[in-house]
Amino acid sequence: NAGVMQNPRHLVRRRGQEARLRCSPVKGHSHVYWYRQLPEEGLKFMVYLQKENIIDESGMPKERFSAEFPKEGPSILRIQQVVRGDSAAYFCASSLRQGEGTEAFFGQGTRLTVV
Amino acid sequence: GDSVTQMEGPVTLSEEAFLTINCTYTATGYPSLFWYVQYPGEGLQLLLKATKADDKGSNKGFEATYRKETTSFHLEKGSVQVSDSAVYFCALSDYYGNNRLAFGKGNQVVVIP
C-alpha cells in the first residue's frame, strides 16, 4: 500500500545544472501538487496537475521551472540552471479527487542543495 | 489572498503537559481547515481536519475547532507524549475546492520526558 513516492530524497547540484525531481502519486490518484519549503518557512504551493494537464501553476516561478504529469510515469518537477536560492525541500502531494475537505497525501520530499 | 498565521517559535514542554498551538486564518468564502504533522525525516501527514464552522476535528488525542467568528483553528492536546515531538502545520484549502493548500510556517514541538 505505497504512499506518495518521491526521489531522490536528497539532490546536490552545482549552480547552472538542471535538477529533476520525481513524484509517483498514490495508486489511483490523478491529482498531483508540488510545494516548496524554504528554510524556516511553511510550504508554498507551486503547481497543480492532473494527468497530462497543468491546472494551476500560479505558484511557479515564471522562468527555469516546469512541471509535467504524463499519461504514464511519475510527475516531474524540472528546474533548469539552478541557483543557490533554489535550495529547499520540494514536496509532492496527491489526492484521489478534487473537492471540499479532500485529503492530500504527501511524500517525504526531495531536499535540493545547490552548491 | 488566503493565508494562515501560526504562533511564533518552537514549543517545549514536559510529558503529560497541555499543548496549545494557535492558528488563525484569512480567507474569502468558507475554507476547509487542516492540521498536518511532520515527524523527523518524514513527509507531512494529515492529523485532523474540519470543513465547516463549529466542526471539531480530532485524532490521536488532538482536537481543533473551526471558529468562524474568530477565524481560528487552534490545536490542543490534553496530555502530550514524547512521541508527539514533531513539526505541526496549520493549513487551509480554498472555498473553490481545488485542494491547493495554504500553510502556516509550522511550529516545532519538543516534548521532554
User: pLDDT tens digits, residue range A3-36?
Assistant: 899 999 999 999 999 999 999 999 989 999 999 9
Nearest to B67 by CA among B99, B35, B36, B25: B25
Determine the Cα angle at A11 with ends A91 and A46, to 5°.
30
- The minimal CB distance from B51 to the residues A41, A101, A108 is found for A101
Q: Which residues of A touch B51 (CB under 8 A)?
A: 100-101
Q: Which chain A residue has its CA at the smallest distance from B39's CA?
A: A108
The DSSP bridge pattern shows strands A75-79 and A65-68 to be: antiparallel
How far B65 CA lies from chain A's nearest CA (Å)? 15
* Cα B11 to Cα B108: distance, rounded to the nearest angstrom: 6
- The minimal CB distance from B99 to the residues A41, A42, A102 is found for A102
> A43 in contact with B at a CB cutoff of 8 Å?
yes
Quote the cell numbers at residue A91. Answer: 514536496
With H, G, I as helix, E, B as strand and everything else as coil, classify residue B60.
coil
- Beta strands of chain B (E only): which ranges? 3-6, 11-14, 19-21, 23-26, 32-38, 44-50, 56-59, 62-65, 75-77, 86-93, 101-103, 107-112
With H, G, I as helix, E, B as strand and everything else as coil, classify residue A114.
strand
CA atoms within 13 A on the CB side of B103: 25
Nearest to B76 by CA among B22, B37, B15: B22
- pLDDT tens for each residue of chain B, 113 residues long: 789 999 888 999 999 999 999 999 998 878 899 999 999 888 899 999 998 899 999 999 999 999 999 999 999 999 999 999 999 999 998 756 567 899 999 999 999 99
Nearest to B70 by CA among B92, B95, B53: B53
Distance of CA A76 to the CA centre of its chain: 7
- The minimal CB distance from B105 to the residues A42, A48, A56 is found for A42
**Residue B46 to residue A103, Cβ atoms within 8 A:** yes
Torsion on CA atoms B11, B57, A99, A32, rounded to nearest 10: 40
> A31 in contact with B at a CB cutoff of 8 Å?
yes
